[in-house]
Every structure is written in C-alpha cells, then in structure tokens.
Structure 1
Amino acid sequence: MSPAAGDGARPLHVVACAHGTDNPEGRLLVNGLREDLAAQLAADGIDAVIHEAYVDVQEPRLDSVLAALPPGVEAIVAPLLLSEGFHTSVDIAEAAALRPNTGVCAPIGPDPRLAAVLAVRLAEAGHRPGDAVVLAAAGTRIEAGQRQAARMAAALAGELGQDVTVAYCSAAAPSVPDAVAAARAAGAKRVGVAAFLLAPGFFHDRLAGAGADHVTAALLPGVTIAKCVAGRLAEARAKGPSDTE
C-alpha cells in the first residue's frame, strides 16, 4: 500500500470487513463502527471510501466487494476482528491476495486502549474489588491469536491491578465455564467475565450460561474501537507494499 494513498490525490478505499452476525443489535453496532471509522479518518485528514464486507453470515462477502472495486484503485482490508485467527490468516489473506494493489492491516487488538474499555464495561456490570476476572475471547486454534488474547488479559490485569485469566468461547482451552469454575475452586466468592467480543451475537449470548456472577457488555459502542482500527490502517500504510500486500 502506497503511503500516499488517500492523501488527497485519490481516495483510500478501505474495506471494513467484519465476521457477520444474525444479531440485529450486533449488526447496528458494527455498522456504527464503520461510520465512526469514516469520521476518524476524516479527522485525521485522510480521504477515504469505506466499504462494507463480511467473511461469514452476512452479505456482501469480502471477495465480491474486492472484485467490484474499480480496476487499478488501491485498497486495504481492515479486519473488524479482535485478533488473528482463521478468518484473518485464510479468508481475508486469500481474498486480498487475488486482487492487485490490495493490502491488509492487522486486526483491532491487542491494544491497551481496549483494556481501558474492558475495565469500564466491568464497572458497568457490577465488578467489585476482589472479584475474580475471566477475559472471554472468541477463540482460535491459531497460536498467534491465542497469544494476542493472553496479551489482552495481561493488559486488563494491569488496568485493574489484579490477575486476569484468559478463556475462550470456542476452539481453545480453557473454556469460559471451566475458567469460571476454576476461579471458584480457587476460593473466589464472585467471578466476573469480561467479554472480549466486538458486539452482541452468538458467543456473547453463550456467556450468560458460563456460571459467572456478572458478564460485561461487548466492546461496542464507543469511538475507541474506531481509533484502534484507524491506527492499524496507519501502521499498515506506513510499512509499504511489501508488508501489506
């Protein structure tokens, strides 16, 4: 991706690609994230066109969005996903590789700003000093994604000043119910789950049955998430073609 793309000579085409969900509120919140991203890029002085895309559940799918872009324009895919996983390493990477002049930026997390949002969500959910905390990530078999989730748990631990256990909704261990049960077995009287999930949907719904005393709302809404995405785009554009294509 050329660092000059979106500098006023021609717009930067940003394909903001989410997972997709059947949850109506989740859909609205992700659409709101795209609007916040457009506003953030404009505030940063970047002329950008934001395109909607998904890797699952919803339409339009990423490959069709990329294929419909005007020939020759430079584009960058911004994964609206919190960490590395199958969708970033396979679905998004393969779709972007099929189109010339198309880069991919890193996913939204890990980011210390997200830890601050999680701390606020915990307070809103009723977290008290002394409560055990489990960070619930979506889950992936890809080790890079698991390491990123562990980094987010460490960042939240630093934000709260206490230990935080990482657990997963799927694909990796420990599961969220197992982590909650382990915290109780270790003597915790109350256990809270910090949902490291972008928006309401299938995984967030499952957290209600994990056995915790309280479960946070998802990360959205909030302009912090758009700032994180804009930062990932800036990092990718600064690295140049060899790193983003």
Structure 2
Amino acid sequence: MTGPPVLIACSHGTRSADGRATIAALVAEAARELPGVRVEHAVVDVELPEVADVVARVAADGPAVVVPLLLSEGHHTRVDIGAACAAYTQVTASSALGPHPLLVQLLRERLGELPGGDAGFRPGDHVVLAAAGSTDAASARAVERMRDLLQAELPAPITLGYGAGARPRLPEAVAAARAAGARRVVAASYVLAPGHFAGLVRRSGADLVSAPLGVHRAAASVIAARYREAAPAITGQDRRHGRILEAPTKETTS
C-alpha cells in the first residue's frame, strides 16, 4: 500500500448507543482533519472490532498508527494497544489524548454551558475534575496534570474524583468538597462520551455536572495531532507524505 499510514482510532468501547454514536461522529470529525488518510475504528473492550484484529488486518496492507481515544495512559494503552502493535514493525501507537491544552479549552467550554456559564462561578464554588480512573500510576499523573492546567484557567479550587481504579471515588470527592466548606460542587466531566463513566459522574452527587467532551473540533484536532506526532516513527521521513506528516500547526497544539 502506498500513501500515508492508516489511522486506527481506538476507543474504549461502550454499550451506550449514544456513546457509540458520539465516538463514530468524533472519528469522522478527525478524518476530516486528515484528508487523504484512511481511518479505521477499533475498541479495547465491550464491543467489536477488537484492536488486535483491526491491527492485524490493516498491517497486512502497510503502516498504521493507533491513536487511543482515551484521555490518559493506562492499562488499555500499555497492555491492550501495546500488545496489538508489538508484532508489527510498521505499526505504532501514539500517546493518549490527554493531557493537552485543547482539552483544557474544551473542558472550559463544557463548563460554560452550565447555568450561569464559566463566568458564573461564585465564592464557595468547588470543581471536581471527574475522570474515569485507573490503577496505573501514569494515568493518575496525567489526570493531575490536567487538573493543574485547568486550575490555571478557573477561579474555583479543583480537586480530583474517579469513577474507578483510583481514589477518591467521585461521591467521596464531592462529599469532601462539601465538608471543606464548598457551597456548590461542580463536576467537570473529563470523559469523552456518554456511557458507564459519564453515568457515574452524573450520579456523583454534584450540584452541577458538565457534559462529556463529545464531538468537537478541539477533540478531533488532538486526535490528528497525536497521529502526526507518531507517524514519522514508522515512515522514517517526516516529509514523505507531505503535510499529513508535518508537525502539528499552531491551531492543533494551543
């Protein structure tokens, strides 16, 4: 096969119809950011096609880049995606989507959609950055970095809460914020799409809950940026496929 490496956009997988539709639309938006690049979708859990099967099929034709549609490094990136790519010299995996400044901007936009908007933070408000969670230390560091980046943008204090795998769990984080004197707790949904973890955020007990990051050009631009960052590792020449393998433009990195 000639042409740029295939983009394999690998999501977690979900039983939620809304979640599946959101991921499909986001992958389509990312494809528009990368004209001329063949795009495939794969998952690591719950649904099909599994990433190992997609990698094996695509690798038979030529090089590919697996971009995890996951917000942090962790078990799925290191084990599931890593193992799927390990047998193929012409297949590589990019970093997870987060942390990234564009995701900070998107979190702020979703918070701005709540009653009162981003400018509506009041004295006594407290934000819980609500992440899916993982037992992997790298995942925790990535979420902490996102918290630090978001804190620089918001007037309210921000702490962390997790749906699984790490502590504090979301209800614990909300309760701790109230016990520390918060008058209103806002959960900033650091999840990509509707599904199991978005449901946990909604049920966390927060007074306000922002929507998942969802379909947005900012998220699609991060996917494209991760692809461009990883693609030269398997082509050997940054300019082999023209602008597809150029370094991310200012629009996709800030």
TM-score by length of 2: 0.86
Q: After TM superposition, where is structure 1 displaced by more than 3 Å over at least 4 residues in a row? A: 238-242
Residue 218 of structure 1, aligned match among 199, 212, 222: 212
Residue 100 of structure 1, aligned match among 79, 89, 98: 89
Q: How far apart, in 2, do the equivalents of 1:23 and 1:182 lie?
A: 30
Question: Residues 34 and 86 of structure 1: is their aligned pair in 2 closer, same or farther, counting only changes over 3 Å?
Answer: same
2:28 alignment counterpart: 35
Once the two structures are TM-superposed, the CA of residue 98 in structure 1 deviates from its matched residue by 2.0
The 5-angstrom pairing of residues 59-138 of structure 1 reads: 59-69=48-58, 71-126=60-115, 128-129=120-121, 130=123, 131-138=125-132
TM-score by length of 1: 0.89
Once the two structures are TM-superposed, the CA of residue 238 in structure 1 deviates from its matched residue by 4.0
Q: Is the 8 A contact 2:5 2:64 kept in 1?
A: yes
2:239 alignment counterpart: none
Cα-to-partner distance string for 1:24-69 (whole Å, 9 max, x where unaligned): 1111110011111110012xxxx21001111111111111111222
Q: How far apart, in 2, do the equivalents of 1:20 and 1:52 lie?
A: 10
Q: How far apart, in 1, do the equivalents of 2:229 and 2:59 lie?
A: 24
Once the two structures are TM-superposed, the CA of residue 123 in structure 1 deviates from its matched residue by 2.0
Once the two structures are TM-superposed, the CA of residue 11 in structure 1 deviates from its matched residue by 3.3
Cα-to-partner distance string for 1:186-222 (whole Å, 9 max, x where unaligned): 1111000001000000011122221110111100121
Identity %, equivalent residues: 39
Q: How far apart, in 1, do the equivalents of 2:174 and 2:81 lie?
A: 33
Cα-to-partner distance string for 1:71-124 (whole Å, 9 max, x where unaligned): 250111111111111100100000111223100001111011111111121121
2:144 alignment counterpart: 150
Matched, 1:26 2:15: no
Question: Residues 21 and 214 of structure 1: is their aligned pair in 2 closer, same or farther, counting only changes over 3 Å?
Answer: same
Question: Residues 241 and 90 of structure 1: is their aligned pair in 2 closer, same or farther, counting only changes over 3 Å?
Answer: farther
SS of match in other structure, 1:51: strand
Segments of 5+ residues of structure 1 without an aligned counterpart are none
Deviates most, 146-155 or 63-72: 63-72
Q: Provide the aligned length of Structure 1 versus Structure 2.
A: 231
Q: How far apart, in 2, do the equivalents of 1:144 and 1:215 lie?
A: 26
Q: How far apart, in 2, do the equivalents of 1:198 and 1:228 lie?
A: 12
Q: How far apart, in 2, do the equivalents of 1:229 and 1:208 lie?
A: 26
- Code of the residue aligned with 2:179 in structure 1: it is A
Quote the RMSD (CA, aligned, Å).
1.7
Segments of 5+ residues of structure 2 without an aligned counterpart are 237-254
2:227 alignment counterpart: 233
